[in-house]
Amino acid sequence: MANISIGVVGAGLIGRKHIMKIREHPDFDLVGIADVNSEGVSAQYPGVPVLRDYREMLDVARPQAVIIASPNQIHAEIGIECARRGVDFLMEKPVTDTLAAASALLGEVRRNNVRTLVGHHRRHHEQVKAVRRYIHDNVIGNLVGVSAIWAAYKPDKYFEIAPWRTQPGGGPILINLIHEIDFLRYTTGEIVAVSATSSNRQRNFPVEDTAGALMEFEGGCIGTFFASDSAVSPWTTEQGVGEAAEFPFSGESSYRFIGSQGSLEFPSLVHWSQADGDQNWNKPVISQRLFASFVDPYVAQLDHFRDVVCGTEQSLQTVEDGARTLIATLAVAEAAQTANRIDLRERYEAVAAGSHSNTTRKAS
Ligand SMILES: NC(=O)c1ccc[n+]([C@@H]2O[C@H](COP(=O)([O-])OP(=O)(O)OC[C@H]3O[C@@H](n4cnc5c(N)ncnc54)[C@H](O)[C@@H]3O)[C@@H](O)[C@H]2O)c1
């Protein structure tokens, strides 16, 4: 098999991580980078063509595939340009900033039949695949509910260096909860409705610092989620899994999946059940630790993208699926603002059909 020629648009925080993984990967050749800061980026990657304009990079380097790691606001236009040229792409999350943009991108992807993958990298963790498998194989019986927390304390500097993070769209719902919602959709099933409440009591910024969401899943499972970026806890997926050095490992579980025959903690994969299948609150509930290996999710994501581009695997997350995660996340923010229960089914259908809902709030 010939190597896949690949370009990267946006060599910022995550773009540079992708470039590092691409250069270490035996099946990809990095043929070009596009970044508006072409001089600075060029100095970091001697020998690789770096262009200011992504269209020029596509013209000059002619990559077979592209990773789009630009700011959210231009995800759609870059994806549309790639699709029109027949270039397969991996789009960083969120798939786009608005539902209208997601709908336009999806239309162009379909017209040109390009292969896509959205960069919700958590889907590539072995622990995530394992918990999904255990739930789907009914290891804990019928899934009755899920209870989850994402709570960490972001230091003042985080807001000082990027004041947009203090404004609506820059808070824990659209920055952090979007990953958790994608994880829940992948492991538990489709979210069909959400209700939520939020507060800015800790920091007094225009954006929320804390939120609570109630999620209804297809099949009837009920989920509750507490999210805060102004509370100290070991309960975030980042800390539990230990996927990045900047978020020190806790190994603690922030998720509890609760079924008719047992429960499962994530990411520790502790399985709780009653001996001899005897379901009775007067009898002890015992635990056993299941096992899943740890892989670098960005490398696993790149391996999967290779297989998607080669046509040997179905994409784990197409643009349409990424748009569903965006719909559910935007709806949590909207529900917290309006105190309404929001049914998502019509919105999923509208984006899939190429028209979009009235909800045009931006994801940051
Ligand atoms: N999956 C993850 O773990 C993860 C982590 C961080 C960020 N992200 C996502 O990745 C994307 C980038 O985030 P980031 O934190 O790396 O941002 P960043 O600001 O660090 O990097 C963005 C880069 O894009 C460049 N850029 C801006 N406009 C451009 C244009 N028109 N053409 C080409 N390049 C342009 C900037 O110069 C910068 O180098 C966002 O969508 C973000 O949500 C994903």
- pLDDT tens for each residue of 179-219: 999 999 999 999 999 999 999 999 999 999 999 999 999 99
Which residue's CA is the nearest one to ligand 1's atom 40? 71
Say how many Å lie between the CA of residue 72 and the centre of ligand 1: 7
Q: What's the pLDDT at 164? A: 86
Residues above pLDDT 90, as percent of the chain: 88
- pLDDT tens for each residue of 51-60: 999 999 999 9
- Quickly state the pLDDT bin for 363 (edges 50, 70, 90): low
Q: Is the CB of 69 under 6 A from ligand 1?
A: yes
Q: Which domains does the chain have, with CATH numbers?
A: 4-122+298-316 (3.40.50.720), 126-294 (3.30.360.10)
Q: Is the CB of 18 under 6 A from ligand 1?
A: no
- Quickly state the pLDDT bin for 275 (edges 50, 70, 90): confident
Q: Which atom of ligand 1 is nearest to the CA of 119?
A: 1
Element spanning 55, H or E: helix 54-61
Which residue's CA is the nearest one to ligand 1's atom 21? 12
Distance separating alpha carbons of residues 193 and 222, to the nearest angstrom: 10
User: Cα 50 to chain center, whole Å?
Assistant: 28
Distance separating alpha carbons of residues 79 and 322, to the nearest angstrom: 13
Q: What's the pLDDT at 277? A: 73
Distance separating alpha carbons of residues 4 and 87, to the nearest angstrom: 11
Nearest to 330 by CA among 216, 77, 188, 338: 338
